[in-house]
């Protein structure tokens, strides 16, 4: 993001100088120069200032945590440093959080083919999650095929040949119920055999991924790095939140193992926090801090109550019988 900003600023400056030079009459030049001096120059200066602070703070964080930072694979480091950051400064995110129409109906794709009611999904997402989390989701799509678990997690020994997505299930392969990649969530056929409460739990986990390190558009790069380092220290702590899903991740490459555990640990603690489960104090602090950034007015207990009411409502409607 910072590099894109610098390149954009260089292009703007070059174009402006070129345009000023290309004006022939003094009258036109005067008007254009005024515009450049009153809008482009101050805006560019602010952006350059914020970008410089951002780069310096990243370097400081990495410098002080060199040893920890080295425990993350280069690929993951790269995705964090190049994270799709919406804002160069935390102040900007408030504008996006406050903006209306954060989510639209069209972001739920293909649910007419699923037994999971689209309206149920929509209400859980839109009415019970922090606003910034909702904003980070590009799409929630139902896919009518099976997707095997990421081999890197070591949850199964079967070597699945590419392409990664399968139309049919193969014996001996573990499949995912739902997954998230690059701010898109997919819900697979397997999720249809779950209860509404279980579906909700899984949705919270997947939504957390779209607001996790490397994905969350509201965090500046320094915040991405700090979050990763906090999570890295948490997955190694003896008092960590014990989720069997995270504990079972096993990859012989220690760096890949760390990255995957960080990703899943974040999703698991956010799911637990939003479900009002008890978490170790440090994990609770991580969740509280990030949720506050995503939605300062979010009340986790109220949201939990609302979610329970929505589940209750859909349990007894036309869905009674196969989803409960």
Residues of the shown chain interacting with Zn ion in the complex, contacts defined by CB under 5 A? 264, 267
Segment (H or E) for 245? helix 244-247
Confirm if 310 and 316 have CB atoms less than 8 A apart.
Answer: no
54 versus 215: smaller Cβ distance to Zn ion? 215
Our CB check for Zn ion shows the closer of 29 and 201 to be 201
Q: Is the Cβ of residue 267 or residue 311 nearer to Zn ion in the bound state? A: 267
Distance CA 89, CA 73 (A): 27
Minimum Å gap between C-beta 287 and Zn ion is: 16
Residue with smaller CB distance to Zn ion, 153 or 314: 153
Nearer to Zn ion, 5 or 79 (CB): 79
The CB-nearest residue to Zn ion is 267
Could you give the CA distance from residue 201 to residue 11 in angstroms, rounded to a whole number?
46
Q: How far is the CB of 207 from Zn ion (least distance, A)?
A: 10
Least CB distance from residue 153 to Zn ion, whole Å? Answer: 9
- Dist CA 298 CA 260 (whole Å): 28
Shortest distance, CB of residue 267 to Zn ion, whole angstroms?
5
End-to-end CA distance of the chain: 44
Strands (E), 2-146: 108-109, 139-143
- And the tokens for 138? 């590009």
The CA distance from 183 to 233, in Å, is 25
Phi-psi region of 183 (alpha: psi -120 to 50; beta: other; left: phi over 0): left
Give the shortest CB-209-to-Zn ion separation in angstroms. Answer: 6
């Amino acid at each position: 993001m910072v590099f894109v900003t610098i390149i954009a600023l260089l292009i703007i400056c070059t174009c402006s100088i070129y345009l000023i030079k290309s004006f022939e009459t003094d009258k036109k030049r005067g008007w254009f120069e005024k515009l450049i001096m009153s809008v482009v120059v101050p805006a560019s200066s602010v952006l350059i200032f914020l970008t410089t602070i951002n780069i310096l703070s990243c370097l400081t964080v990495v410098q002080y945590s060199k040893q920890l930072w080295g425990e993350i694979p280069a690929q993951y480091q790269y995705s964090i440093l190049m994270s799709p950051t919406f804002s160069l400064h935390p102040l900007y995110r408030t504008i996006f959080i406050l903006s209306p129409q954060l989510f639209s109906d069209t972001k739920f794709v293909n649910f007419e083919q699923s037994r999971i009611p689209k309206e149920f999904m929509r209400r859980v997402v839109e009415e019970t999650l922090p606003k910034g989390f909702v904003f980070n989701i590009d799409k929630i799509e139902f896919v009518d095929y099976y997707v095997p678990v990421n081999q890197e997690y070591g949850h199964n020994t079967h070597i699945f040949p590419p392409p990664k997505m399968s139309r049919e299930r193969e014996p001996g392969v573990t499949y995912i119920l739902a997954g998230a990649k690059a701010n898109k969530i997919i819900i697979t056929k397997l999720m249809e055999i779950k209860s509404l409460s279980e579906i909700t739990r899984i949705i919270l986990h997947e939504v957390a991924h779209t607001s996790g390190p490397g994905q969350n558009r509201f965090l500046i790069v320094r915040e991405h790095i700090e979050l990763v380092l906090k999570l890295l220290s948490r997955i190694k702590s003896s008092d960590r939140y014990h989720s069997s899903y995270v504990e079972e991740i096993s990859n012989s490459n220690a760096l890949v193992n760390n990255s995957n555990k960080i990703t899943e640990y974040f999703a698991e603690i956010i799911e637990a926090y939003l479900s009002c489960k008890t978490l170790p104090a440090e994990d609770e602090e991580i969740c509280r801090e990030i949720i506050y950034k995503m939605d300062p007015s979010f009340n986790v207990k109220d949201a939990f109550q609302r979610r329970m009411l929505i589940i209750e409502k859909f349990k007894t409607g036309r869905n009674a019988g196969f989803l409960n």
